[in-house]
Structure 1
Amino acid sequence: MKFDNLWYDKHPLALALAPLSWLFCVIVGVRRLAYKQGLLTRHHAPVPVIVVGNITVGGTGKTPLVLWLAQFLKQHGFKPGIISRGYGGRAKKWPQLVHANSEPHLVGDEPVLLARHSGCPVAVAPHRLKAVQSLLENNDCNLIISDDGLQHYALHREIEIAVVDEIRRYGNRRSLPAGPLREPVSRLEEVDFIVTKSRKSQANPLLNETGFITTTNRYPVKLGSTDTMPSRDSICRIHPKAFSMLYYTKPLRRVIDDNVSQPLPTLRDHTVHAIAGIGHPAPFFNCLRENGLKLHCHEFPDHHHYCQTDIQFDDNLPVIMTEKDAVKCKPIAGPQHWYLPIEARLPARFGERLLELLS
């Protein structure tokens, strides 16, 4: 059984797992209180830390936002470095400094992607403070961006940014393991920014001309499979710290040679293989379909370690994958393999507010 069926649908097993969810909530609450009361040590980095995370399990679009932040901050005179847990990496020693040519199976796929496209130094370690120390010892950084780590309270942060999937939101609103929540939805009231992700091709009824999330809808709003009225802790209300992040697709690039590209519409009405090993692959597949492609979909677990049989097929059809998958598939790819880059964009007011907080 896929967890999506349990967490984002009305599944009877969710009710059976409710006692474990209550226990999880108690543990999360006690742990957070211990950090607030100083019973557990919170370490301060010598430079400001911005944490980009989420309150749910699975992909919500953190990595594109981290890339946007890195570029924006560099344009405004900062020298950011990026830290990550290195999830999926199998290195025997931590921390690890990540470079554009680092091996994804050692340090994780997302850190390599960040190193290739951010132009910033990147360090990974399960203990974020060790990643910070390694980054600062080896690079001239005056600000740290943490890719994920909203729940890593051992590292003090100046700014918290929570990313929320515009469509799936909080699923059944239950905590792990009965639902996707790492922390209660009320946690969003404490962060500095709430960023929701949308694609450019989608009309966003919650976005007004200022870039704020807002709504005049007085009818129930779909949250996963559960209809509920907008509540105090819902993003579906006027909220001065909520912004919409739009995804823009860029031309396809050949996995084995980034210099070779082709516009996605050139494959309209063509049949292709679509590969995705990410937290929530449906938007990727839908994007290809909306551009007129006919798909043979191949879905893999997030952070999947690919082998050649995963991406080679007994035909001459093009194969399209996500950029995160391309990082891992380059050594085993051929000329028929392409990836679809995406770019995140945020409203000007988001950047202005970010600079205000940093000053």
Structure 2
Amino acid sequence: MIERIWSGRSALYVLLLPLSLLYGLISNLLRLSYVWGWRQAWRAPVPVVVVGNLTAGGNGKTPVVIWLVQALQQRGLRVGVVSRGYGGKAVRYPLVLDPQTTTAEAGDEPVLIYQRTGAAVAVSPRRREAVEALLTSGQIDIVVTDDGLQHYALARDIEIVVVDGERRFGNGWWLPAGPMRERVGRLKSVTAVINNGGVTHTGELAMQLVPGPAVNLLTGEKCDAVTLDNVVAMAGIGHPPRFFNTLRQLGVSPVKEVAFADHQDYSAEALSSLAEPHQTLLMTEKDAVKARAFARANWWYLPVDAVLSEAEPLLARIQALNNG
């Protein structure tokens, strides 16, 4: 139902407009309080790059963070990543991730970023604390924040917004009548807009999520996803249909598709009930980081990588911050 409302296919959004107007008023006042100097943002001693979005739901932000971190690492920069750690609950904050950190402590996205990039990652509801923890724990040349576009208490040098190229901005209204955290006009003040799929608009960087081979959670074995038999597909991400569509584009025809809420917590019993022993349970990599501890032999995940065109000027601009 919420997808119908946010996409503009239902007029029920009108009932939620009073709440949306209140949300918009508060969010605008918060941002303007920093713009006009009523509040002072904290500036880190190293450059800060924010990767965020204007809408709620999955836009492909985490793959962009992974791409950016790896691209900057290839340029010789020591990158640290900070995150709110949504879905995790640590005993204390800030929490600097290590190989033993669980998704229950840090959240699924920080653990995924840590495993994929090897970068230093810290989580805290107050991103300043996460940045300070990274700077204390080791040498960091630049900080990338996973989300946090609306976290104005942390000053930033670069703002990158990821847009779902197919859904774009829905009906254009603030939450909860629409999907917007901020209105579309905010794009005029950001450094770069990355369009994930769909039609790329003027001034946007085109991006595609390219799937790799399927990986077995237990053994690490890899194979083409289309060779897996009797696939039961599951996804607990911001927009599960994107994953299911990717599978169909690869030639995989799942016998069942199961969508979970974003950041859904899983148990061995719940996931084991989805697929019979003769079937294959195929999930996203974000799901896999939460399920690996109790994985079964017939559980696989499909990693994806963000592939961007014409991103060299953006990367050069970010690198120049460190050189300067």
Normalising by structure 1, we get a TM-score of 0.85
- Distance across 1 between alignment mates of 2:66 and 2:219: 21
Q: Which residue of 2 aligns with 1:128?
A: 127
Partner deviation per Cα, 1:275-321 (whole Å, 9 max, x = no partner): 10000011110111222222211111100110123211344201100
* Maintained 8 Å contact 2:42/2:155: yes
Deviates more, 1:284-293 or 1:315-324: 284-293
Q: Which residue of 2 aligns with 1:104?
A: 103
How far residue 357 of structure 1 moved from its aligned partner, in angstroms, is: 4.8
The SS at the match of 1:325 is: helix
Q: Which residue of 1 aligns with 2:89?
A: 90
- Distance across 1 between alignment mates of 2:47 and 2:239: 31
Residue 281 (structure 2) pairs with residue 319 (structure 1)? yes
- Distance across 1 between alignment mates of 2:178 and 2:269: 33
Q: What is the identity, as a one-letter code, of the residue corresponding to 1:277?
A: G
Residue 258 (structure 2) pairs with residue 298 (structure 1)? yes
* Maintained 8 Å contact 2:53/2:59: yes
Partner deviation per Cα, 1:134-154 (whole Å, 9 max, x = no partner): 011001101000000000000
* Maintained 8 Å contact 2:80/2:143: yes
Q: What is the identity, as a one-letter code, of the residue corresponding to 2:292?
A: K
Instruction: Give 4+ residue runs of structure 1 displaced > 4 Å after superposition.
Output: none
Q: Which residue of 2 aligns with 1:148?
A: 147
* Maintained 8 Å contact 2:230/2:278: no
Q: Which residue of 2 aligns with 1:166?
A: 165
How far residue 157 of structure 1 moved from its aligned partner, in angstroms, is: 0.3
Q: What is the identity, as a one-letter code, of the residue corresponding to 2:252?
A: L
Residue correspondence of structure 1 range 3-42 to structure 2 within 5 A = 3-42=2-41
How far residue 353 of structure 1 moved from its aligned partner, in angstroms, is: 3.0
Q: What is the identity, as a one-letter code, of the residue corresponding to 1:322?
A: T
* Cα-Cα RMSD: 1.4
- Distance across 1 between alignment mates of 2:116 and 2:252: 27
How far residue 256 of structure 1 moved from its aligned partner, in angstroms, is: 1.8
Q: What is the identity, as a one-letter code, of the residue corresponding to 1:319?
A: L
Partner deviation per Cα, 1:230-288 (whole Å, 9 max, x = no partner): xxxxxx3x22xx10111111110011232x11112223xx4311110000011110111
Partner deviation per Cα, 1:146-186 (whole Å, 9 max, x = no partner): 00000000000000000000100101111011011000010
* Maintained 8 Å contact 1:271/1:293: no
Q: Which residue of 1 aligns with 2:297?
A: 335
Identity, in percent, stands at: 41
Partner deviation per Cα, 1:67-106 (whole Å, 9 max, x = no partner): 1111111111211110100000011311101123311011
Q: Which residue of 1 aligns with 2:243?
A: 284
Normalising by structure 2, we get a TM-score of 0.94
Partner deviation per Cα, 1:165-223 (whole Å, 9 max, x = no partner): 0100101111011011000010011100000112xxxxx6x4xxxxxx4xxxxxxxxxx
Q: Which residue of 2 aligns with 1:265?
A: 226
- Distance across 2 between alignment mates of 1:133 and 1:183: 28
What count of residue pairs does the alignment treat as equivalent?
317
